[in-house]
Chains A and B, each alone.
Chain A
Amino acid sequence: MATASASLPGAGPVSGSRSFLSRLRDGDEIARLITFVFAATVVLISVLLVLELWRDSAMPRHKFGFAFFRTTTWDPVDGDFGALPFIYGTLVTAAVALVIAVPLGIGAAIFLAELAPPRVSDTLEFFIDLLAAVPSVIYGVLGIFIVVPLMRQFIAPSLKSILGFLPLFKGPAYGVGFLTAGIVLAIMIIPYIISVSREVLLSVPRDQREAALAVGSTRWESTWKVVVPFARSGIMGSIFLALARSLGETMAVAMVIGNDPKISMSLFAPGYSIAAVIANELAEATSELHTQSLIELGLVLFLLTFVLNGLARILIVVTSQRGAGRARA
């Protein structure tokens, strides 16, 4: 990149000499090569990461095989390891986070992009970017001192009195648990959804809005029926970015999930997530099997993220095709 732009100013007068052109071409080639290497590094790092995780988890892979994914015991003293409670906890907390964050995030993005005066929108955007940059341990502290007591004293009792017949909201509420972790995650990912969705909505061409208004639709109709569908794949992208973030979030989750490897229907119950158990136990894992099982959990998390991202891609392709089809019809 740098090489290419550095050689450009010299190109000012059209001298047309062959050697100059070829030099320029050479510069392009160099730039292409350098940037290609940079791009290839990304792939290389991912491949090395998987190789390393694979290599260093040989012991539990041979000992437990696929049972690792099915069993629920995690006993470092006896050397018996199963990943299911952690996979469950990771998925449940991420799902709770998305259920809360998606409507709020997209709603806020629509307001900021379409309805708010530009000055308000830009000011708020500044604060949202600030929120996205807050370290996760701060959100964890917020969780422990604000969300956990609120959960125990207000949120859990009121959910129980209204929706207590559902198995999701049964059992004692300690304050920490799946729901608390999901709420803290939601707070963390909302800025991502707002920030990316707002950019996408703002980039929808003016013609689209004007055309909708010209055929007599109200402002809200033009926003909801034209602008939002146009930006759909970008908004989806923001949601999947948020999903990836919540699957891998470590510190804040470890502080509020309760750290108990159990599978429970109730969202009030304590649980455990993959990232949290790795952070908690790796430093003091005394047996080789324990360390390697934690590394295999890392591999599982990588696979989980990979599969969910793949599904997300497919979903985006499918919905954008359907969108295009409807636009043509």
Chain B
Amino acid sequence: MKRIAGILLVVLGAAAGVLWADALSINGAGATFPNPIYTKWFDEYHKKNPNIQINYQSIGSGGGIKQVTEGTVDFGASDGPMNDEQLKAYQDKHGSPILHFPTVLGAVVPTYNIPGVNATLNFSGEALAGIYLGKVTKWNDPLIADANKGVKLPSEDIVVVHRADGSGTSYCFTDYLSKVSEEWKTKVGKGTSPNWPVGLGGKGNEGVTGTVKNTPNSIGYVELIYAEANKIPYGNVKNADGVFMKASLASVTAAASGAAKDMPDDFRVSITNAKGKEAYPISTFTWLLIPEKFTDTAKRDAIKGFVTWMLGDGQNYTEALSYARLPKEVVAKEKKALAEIQ
């Protein structure tokens, strides 16, 4: 009996060893916003290539940048591009640069709760900046009212709600406000957790939504996919061409194509307030952060293989999960950039 058990153990061990050696395990960490699509992609890619297993931890963009710089993961992911200081830190540590690869697009939408108002409101950039600076304090302020003729807005104080946790959503929103308001740019600036001049902080998309739902005369901002999934009504935002645009997968992709023409070679580009009549102005890429040099060639080939698939077939999974797909121009440019990885 003991002998049989022993033999079984050896056989099992050998089998496990074979499996272990076969499956190449690649680790990544970072942004939470694209986590649903990344999980789907890595799962689908594993089904097609059973010998490659990509693990992803959605620990936040900041954590992703830190871990890939430390070298504890094979690739990172971030909702905001790495800044020059962070790029330099990576270059100093590894002797070679890190590359940005856009994967999908997201957007941020304003949501509000005004008793008695059911219409979809229009917001200009100046109005949003004014509200979040604490200068536009009443709902019937001309900055809001003039864009919403025919809607009876109350003379009530606006309760401002923002994200309390550091997030790519806040980065995208404040990046937009910095572009449309000089005062916002100098006073507050853009960041994952800026120093908000006014307002209540809600934790996560659900915290902001909960606070807005519970507080009459409030305004907040959430991710488009969150608003869509939870059927939360949201307002239109005026784009660079002066059109009040509703956020949708099409208008977000349009913002990216508008920006694609003058896309820098390192893909670190903000597409907020992008040109184009059809563009939704508070849109953003989300990026994979991939080292330019790999010592492990098997890992390098696996990651390159995945990115190639993601830019092709992978993009077909985006819309079912409410992410906007990459415009063709960007895909073509990324395929070229992929060759730089050695």
Contact = CB atoms under 8 A, between A and B. Distances in A.
A148 interface: yes
A178 to B, nearest CB: 13
A114 B165 CA distance: 47
Contacts of A290: 193
B62 A285 contact: yes
B157 A176 contact: no
Contacts of B59: 283
Interface in A250-296: 254-255, 258-260, 270, 272, 276, 279-286, 290-291
24 contacts: A76-B191, A78-B195, A144-B210, A148-B214, A152-B214, A174-B159, A176-B200, A258-B200, A258-B201, A259-B164, A259-B201, A259-B203, A260-B196, A272-B201, A276-B164, A281-B166, A281-B193, A283-B60, A283-B63, A284-B167, A285-B62, A286-B61, A286-B83, A290-B193
Contacts of A286: 61-62, 65, 80, 83, 86, 166, 191-192
A172 B157 contact: yes
A281 B311 CA distance: 32
Interface in B171-210: 188-196, 199-203, 207, 210
Contacts of A76: 166, 191-195
Nearest to B168: A284
Given A149-B214, A176-B211, A285-B62, A280 B195 contact: no
Interface of B: 59-63, 65-66, 80, 83, 86, 157, 159, 164-168, 188-196, 199-203, 207, 210-211, 214-215
Given A259-B202, A270-B200, A284-B192, 4 more contacts: A77-B195, A176-B211, A255-B207, A286-B166
Contacts, number: 94
Interface in A160-179: 172, 174-176
A82 to B, nearest CB: 11
B157 A280 contact: no
Interface in A134-158: 144, 148-149, 152
Interface residues of A, number: 32
B62 A77 contact: no
Contacts of B65: 286
Interface string A43-82: 0000000000000000000000000000001111110000
B166 A285 contact: yes
The 8 closest A-B pairs by CB, nearest first: A259-B201, A284-B166, A259-B164, A283-B60, A75-B195, A77-B191, A280-B165, A77-B189
Given A176-B211, A286-B192, A280 B62 contact: no
B201 A77 contact: no
A144 B166 contact: no
A142 to B, nearest CB: 13
A156 to B, nearest CB: 13
A176 B194 CA distance: 21
Nearest to A285: B62
Nearest to A286: B62
A254 B203 contact: yes
A152 B216 CA distance: 10
A149 B141 CA distance: 27
Contacts of B193: 76, 280-281, 284-285, 290
Given A175-B214, A283-B62, A254 B192 contact: no
Nearest to B58: A283
B216 to A, nearest CB: 9
Contacts of B167: 284
A144 B195 contact: no
Contacts of A255: 203, 207
